[in-house]
Amino acid sequence: MTQDQAAGTSTAAADRRSVFGRVWPAALGVLVAAATAIGLADARDVAPVLAASGLVYLAAAALGRPAAAWPAFGVTFVLIGVAKVTDLDPTPWMIGLAVVLAVVGLAAGRRRPAWSLPLQAAAMLVLGVAALAAVRLDATAGGLVVAVGLLGHAAWDAYHHRTGRVVARSLAEFCGVLDVILAVALAVLVLTA
């Protein structure tokens, strides 16, 4: 192999890695959205995802580390997964965890800037209440609450991705793709039922 061929091979490999580095959050969002939506009969079953979406942002703000959103997502993923095979309702657990994280953040002095812990705590409150309310409504109204909540959170994701605030950009991209796809799938499910 000549030097030019070796350089071309390493350039091609680097290009493939850079493409993967650019698309993996969106691709993972598509995968998780599809896995969540397949076989779904009641859109209200996705309500815990609303609480999870607020929790991951709150965790990053409370800990002062954007990368903390990914482990927080892992915790919510496990809670929602456990709920699928047990009678556990993950939403109250996520709300409880959010309260603990807010206290930790306040104790660490993360009251400022206003767009960090205070705003993320308010968003968590809205999303947590929406998730709790959705499961108590009828299938149509509850499903639409979840779909609208996810679309609202997708806008939140887009803002945070653009500004680079609070969470890692990869998490904001992943979550935005997940939220939009799930919101559309839920709206279709609810409106065609």
H and E: helices and strands count for the chain: 7, 0
Q: Report pLDDT for 56.
A: 98
Coil/strand/helix, residue 4: helix
Give the whole-angstrom CA distance, residue 19 versus residue 125. Answer: 37
Which tens digits make up the pLDDT trace of 134-148? 999 999 999 999 999
Query: Within 10 A of 65 (CB to CB), how many other CB atoms are there?
Result: 14
pLDDT at 190: 97
- Residue 21 corresponds to which amino acid? G
Low-confidence spans in the chain with pLDDT less than 70? 1-17, 19-20
User: pTM for the whole thing?
Assistant: 0.87
Show me where the domains of the chain are located: 3-192
Average pLDDT score over the chain? 91
Torsion of CA 85, 87, 91, 92, to 10 degrees: -140
Predicted pLDDT at 97 = 97
At 173, list the tokens.
Answer: 């991209």
User: For residue 112, what pLDDT is reported?
Assistant: 80
Which tens digits make up the pLDDT trace of 87-114? Answer: 899 999 999 999 999 999 999 988 788 7
**Tell me, what's the pLDDT at 110?**
83
